[in-house]
């Protein structure tokens, strides 16, 4: 993640975990955009990936 330095300290461990597990991957340019809101379609993809891990 090119902008990992913008992730809040309290969230860095969680962000690293979801990225390492492929639950969240960032955009096409390698940015996580931690200060931007999550859209409904992005949330749907995240939930889908979580469900795949659980099943």
Cβ atoms within 10 Å, residue 17 = 11
Domain count, the chain: 1
CB-based contacts of 53, cutoff 8 Å, min separation 6: 21, 23
The string of pLDDT tens digits covering residues 18-44 is 999 999 998 999 999 999 999 999 999
In eight-state DSSP terms, residue 27 is -
Burial class from Cβ neighbours inside 10 Å (0-12, 13-18, 19+) for residue 34 reads: middle
Q: Model-level pTM?
A: 0.85
Residue 55 pLDDT grade (very low, low, confident, very high; cuts 50, 70, 90): confident
Which residue segment(s) compose the domain that 48 sits in? Answer: 4-54
């Amino acid at each position: 993640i090119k902008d990992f330095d913008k992730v809040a300290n309290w969230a860095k461990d969680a962000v690293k975990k979801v990225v390492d597990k492929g639950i969240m991957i960032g955009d096409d340019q390698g940015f996580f955009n931690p200060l931007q809101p999550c859209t409904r379609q992005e949330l749907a993809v995240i939930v889908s990936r979580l469900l795949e891990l659980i099943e």
